Chain A
């Protein structure tokens, strides 16, 4: 019997997932994430980063010997239904995530699904928009927003659910340097448990203390961000590069 620890936000043992066409996405992945920890997830294209996030969010149904996220087991249908209150996922493409006709409606979508009273929904929307710096944009329509604003709306929609764990999939994709800088500042203010999947290794360095390296669905490395990302041999073996800011003190 494997113990479930209260200090752990995420516990995963031997997680395996294959798509219906038989393609293996994740093979025997095991790791823990402490409550309040910020963990980067890196790997080449097709490594299984998004699949892992979709498993953690309860969208995909993997096999595992132990699987608990925010105290819930995503494999159990009853617990999976409660997962959106514990885990918030921000997708790669904000257009996939902002599906309502106005910013207000989109941020209110999650709280309304929790069947909260109208006043509480309005309070949560106002609070989430304030946290991402979009107060006053409630009536804006999504197709009039910039890439950075869309990313913030997507994040506000997730924050309005008040999850204890945030999963951000390629958060700096489609952002210009200013938008990226603002996003990093915003991430520092969020707190809670975070996992960030990205090819932007500088962003990972600035926002995460620990890194998981995934390749072909397998966990290849797990350690402090500055150690893993500075290992040139490891990085090159998995189709990555040592971030520019670490090149002076490369291990290999």
Chain B
């Protein structure tokens, strides 16, 4: 037995020896993958703050944070899916479908006599919109789990399908803010905290981040999301129902897209089918820059928020510096590639 413990010590020391400063940084980043994105965010803010004093004005900061709300909320859904080593291209299209559904229910349904109650009560309209988005997410999950189709292809398909359904059901008509019951625009309102302006939509986004991050850290479901993303076969052999976990992730992601639909109506002040066709890609960008691995199982959801803030801060900083839109777009692209490179390096921590 003493022989055994001495060989144990040998293994222990051997393990200690490898801890060079660079390796220690790598290990720390491995444990807290959002840390590198936080450092990048601070560097970006300090850099642009130094070259242009307007960057750090409370009004600019408030604006940047508000600009993050839509992509930041969608990035929660995207982060959950990417943690399972999936990807969701349908994210913007489902959100827009939910948004158009709730706005149309609230505004037009009374006249058509279908579900008259939805028209009278905007809360029911919003609820139905969120449920519809949840169902859309569940359809993605069902196709992926039941038929084993790759998430990339499934969501590429449903991206078009829900875009098409939006045009078929709601035509291309934008519903303007004044047409809608004012309850639907509530999340765009807000209050002043000192010199900063905080919207209720922003608070709701933070609440969603908190809830998802808490669930990932503190529930068995959260552990299983990571385990399935890491290695679905190993998770299955450990007694986890990998399919059920995957399906639940797509369902929850759909519900988050539905809630984001309400936030978007408040933020934009109208419900339009052409909000931003790039939302799906922007949410992926935020997640990747936030240190969540595209290979699944690694990263913290808060990273997605930091990633979204980095994108907005770089855009704003370059724009204040008078840099042309084309260069701004290109620089975000470079940021994504660097972020993926850093992720690869961190994952090499394996002994």
Q: Do A and B bind each other?
A: no
A interface list, Cβ under 8 A from B: none
B-side residues, CB < 8 A to A, are: none
